[in-house]
Amino acid sequence: MAELSATTGLAVATIKYYLREGLLSPGRPIGRNQAEYGPEHVRRLRLVRALIDYGGLGIADIRDLIARLDDPGVGLYGLAGLAQKSVTEREEARPGPHRERARRIVAEVMERKGWQDSAANPAVGTLVGVVAVLEELGLREISAVLGDYADAAEGIARVDLGVVGTAGDRERAVEIVALGTRLGDAIVVSWRRVAQEHLTTRTLNP
């Protein structure tokens, strides 16, 4: 375990904690109180750390994801869906008339896009909450173009799916979906800021 610690940069106590929590499979026993760990253990530890540090996941969520990852009965589709939902924020709108209007707006866009099969995605609740705030503040110019945002998001999702399609194994697919979604969000936001400045300069700057 000392060698595993040196290779991964994780403290022995941390590795033991992950073992107890079921995030890492035991090593091959080679003697009393000794076990041998291979490259698969190094990779799993790096995945767990990445999910914590960059994915923002808690131990319980990671344990569930790891259990599905190690279950051959769970297909890549189900695994990718779980990984995506594990890094999706869950926010619900406050009760009130604005929430109901927001639900209708979101539902109409999803129906137009043919996305009704994703109505249970936790991101939908967050979206309803955002639109409800826009409605409450009277910023209907933004909620009015919600469909345009959906069109743009679909293009980004196609890029995401293309990247996932290049994954040669299940563990890599989890890395790409879970971490790629989090880091991809940062990429999209950053490019949006750059594009906003560029277009603003060209259209509004005298």
What is the SS3 string spanning 3-60? HHHHHHCCCHHHHHHHHHCCCCCCCEEEECCEEECCHHHHHHHHHHHHHHHCCCCCHH
Residue 130: domain span: 88-144
HSE value, Cβ hemisphere, 13 Å, CA-based, for 172: 7
- What's residue 150's pLDDT? 95
- Would residue 24 count as lying in a domain? yes
Residue showing tokens 């293009």? 155
- Could you tell me the two tokens for 99? 């929430």
- Would residue 178 count as lying in a domain? no
- Would residue 193 count as lying in a domain? no
The alpha carbon of residue 84 and the mean position of all alpha carbons in its chain are separated, in whole angstroms, by 4
- Would residue 72 count as lying in a domain? no
* In contact, 4 and 37? CB cutoff 8 Å: yes
Q: Count how many domains the chain has.
A: 2
Indicate if 93 and 139 belong to the same structural domain: yes
Last residue of a domain, one of 118, 144, 170: 144
- Would residue 96 count as lying in a domain? yes
- Would residue 206 count as lying in a domain? no
With CA atoms as reference, report the closest residue to 35 among 19, 21, 57, 48: 19
Last residue of a domain, one of 144, 171, 188: 144
Residue showing tokens 């599905």? 68
- What's residue 115's pLDDT? 94
Residue showing tokens 């879970």? 178
For 95, counting Cβ atoms within 10 Å of its Cβ (0-12 exposed, 13-18 middle, 19+ buried), the class is exposed
Tens-of-pLDDT digits for all 206 residues of the chain? 888 889 899 999 999 999 999 999 888 888 777 888 888 899 889 889 888 887 778 898 888 888 888 888 877 777 777 777 777 766 666 677 888 899 999 999 999 999 998 888 888 988 998 999 898 889 999 999 999 999 999 999 888 878 776 655 777 778 777 777 778 888 888 999 999 999 998 887 66
- What's residue 173's pLDDT? 78
- What's residue 92's pLDDT? 67
- Could you tell me the two tokens for 18? 């992950």
- What's residue 203's pLDDT? 83
pTM, two decimal places: 0.69
Indicate if 92 and 140 belong to the same structural domain: yes
